[in-house]
Amino acid sequence: MDLVRSVTDYLPGMLRAGVLAFQITLLAILLSWVLGLATALMKTSGNALLAAPAGFYVWFIRGTPSLIQIFIIYFGLPQIGIRMSPFVAGVVALGLCSGAYVAEVVRAGLMAIPKGQWESARAIGMAPALLMRRIILPQVVRIIVPPLTNEAINTLKNTSLLSAITVMELTLYTQMAIAATFRPFDFYIMAALLYLVMTTLLSRFATWFERRFQIH
């Protein structure tokens, strides 16, 4: 059986490529949260010197294709002396790309917290950083879990774009398997199933998190 043979031959490689995609996703998500939180705080700081670069970043990322951003990082930056491995370039590019969307999600979350929450915390003597950490962000996190889950899933799916910069992730590996076996249907379906497993894992985790930290 051709199908069975090609599956058994390539399944370990497919799984490895899937794990790589998942690793890149997790690192890019972490980066995007840090960037997104910082950007959102800068944009809402009321300080033009902070808000302007944050605004530019969001505007640039949201207005350009992800693939172009990836190419700028991997092919463009070496021209000015910044060289990264495909893996690192992939994490950085996807993190930067997603960070802009995370920033908008966090900003919307911050604006959804009633003014009274800030005021009661200030009135008790909390300094801004403490207030943000203890009162505001814990509430924001609960609000933004669903949109952040969407964004995480987008990032995972965007890892397939990294096939264009030679990251041996699931999509590129699948294409190589197809080139060797001429079985596009089998392998694309298998790749799709693996992506589905990973996206489902992400959203399951988000659901668990939401339940666990529900506000009563």
Partner 1 sequence: MQEIYLTSERQGQIADPVMAFLELTDVSKAFGDRTVLRNVSLAVEKGEVVSVIGASGSGKSTLLRCINLLEVPQSGRLRFLDRTIDYAEVTRGRMRQASYAVLRQRIGMVFQSFNLWPHMTVRGNVTEGPVQVLGLDRTEADARAEAILAKVGLSEKIDAWPGTLSGGQQQRVAIARALAMRPALMLFDEVTSALDPEMVGEVLDLMKQLADEGMTMLVVTHEMGFARHVSDRIAFVHEGRIAEIGPAEQMMAAPRNPETRRFLDRVLHHT
**What is the chain's length?**
216
Binding of partner 1 at residue 120 (CB under 8 A)?
yes
Site string for partner 1, 135-174 (x = CB under 8 A): x--xx--x--------------------------------
Interacting positions 175-214 with partner 1 (CB under 8 A): 213
Single out the segment in contact with partner 1 by CB under 8 A; choices: 15-23, 52-60, 132-140, 151-159.
Answer: 132-140
Binding of partner 1 at residue 215 (CB under 8 A)?
yes
Closest CB 112 distance from partner 1, rounded Å: 12
Binding of partner 1 at residue 53 (CB under 8 A)?
no
CA distances from 49 to 35, 43, 107 (A): 17, 10, 17
Single out the segment in contact with partner 1 by CB under 8 A; choices: 13-21, 31-39, 134-142, 161-169.
Answer: 134-142
- Sole binder of partner 1 in the list 49, 80, 116, 185 (CB under 8 A): 116
Binding of partner 1 at residue 1 (CB under 8 A)?
no
Binding of partner 1 at residue 112 (CB under 8 A)?
no
Sequence letter at residue 36: G
Binding of partner 1 at residue 46 (CB under 8 A)?
no
Binding of partner 1 at residue 121 (CB under 8 A)?
yes
Q: Which residues contact 77 (CB under 8 A, 6 or more apart)?
A: 83, 84, 89
- Write out the residues near partner 1 by the rule CB under 8 A: 114, 116-117, 119-128, 130, 134-135, 138-139, 142, 213, 215-216
